[in-house]
Amino acid sequence: MLKQKVVIVSGSSRGIGAAIAKGFAASGASVIVNYRHSEVAAREVVKACEKVGGQAIAVGADVATEEGVQLIVEETMLSFGRVDILVNNVFAPYVFDAENRKKAWEMEWQDYKTQLDGSLKAAHLLVQGVLPSMQQFGTGSIINITSNLVAHPVVPYQDYTTAKAAIIGYTRSMAKDLGTVGIRMNAIAPGLVYPTEATKHTKEVLKDELSDATPLGRIAGPDDVVGPVLFLASDWSRFVTGQTIYVDGGLVMK
């Protein structure tokens, strides 16, 4: 169902984004692998996409800026002529370190702004950037990556969780308008995903505690997020919009 589809995956040079990019490529889609600094890693993801039969290009762009979004959209249109799917995976650099995190009384507004710019602003700019192409064809799927911490803040990362909560509100609100022009928007809320660059400092004791509390008995790896994203991108979910799917082994049940 994804053959000949064109998909932009923001922040896809490594971790969850890289796994998603490879999953789309294996399903026959053409993939734009977005990176900000990690060009070498992005090139490796492109090679992996091509190895499984997909087309891919790497585009270096800061998608939290209008200039960066303009660049990635222009490169996509030049290479493939359209955008069918957008995955908003990028977020501001963040280290998940339960022991050394800022407490509520230590938070400054700039902490929140940094995360909001990295998640919500980047998502919004990219959405606005791809809408003309999607509206032209009267179809499209947008998937926003959020976090199960919004529903279950097992570690209260104040700024990160607040920004991810904003993504859920954005998803629901935008879905109302976009549905009238044939475009769907949904969200994926993973739990702790290990290993990634952001979660490399996660202590074994926390991973064990989460595994014990999870009905499926383990924490997620990057590949666990791929299937739900592909589902929301495909026609299998053609009557699904405005939803948040929790991908955390049943830790959150809604």
Q: Which residues are catalytic?
A: 160
Q: How many CB atoms lie within 10 A of CB 194?
A: 19
What single-letter amino acid sits at 209?
Answer: E
Coil, strand or helix at 60 = strand
Q: How many CB atoms lie within 10 A of CB 214?
A: 18
Q: In this structure, what are the phi and psi dihedrals at residue 153, rounded to the nearest 5 degrees? A: -75, 70
Report the alpha-carbon angle 25-197-90, nearest 5.
55
What single-letter amino acid sits at 214?
Answer: T
Q: In this structure, what are the phi and psi dihedrals at residue 30, rounded to the nearest 5 degrees? A: -95, 130
* Residue 208, token pair as written in the block: 């064990």
Alpha helices (H) along the chain: 15-26, 39-51, 66-80, 109-116, 122-137, 158-178, 204-213, 223-233
Q: What distance in Å separates the CA atoms of residue 233 and residue 164, rounded to the nearest whole number?
A: 20
Q: What distance in Å separates the CA atoms of residue 153 and residue 158, rounded to the nearest whole number?
A: 9
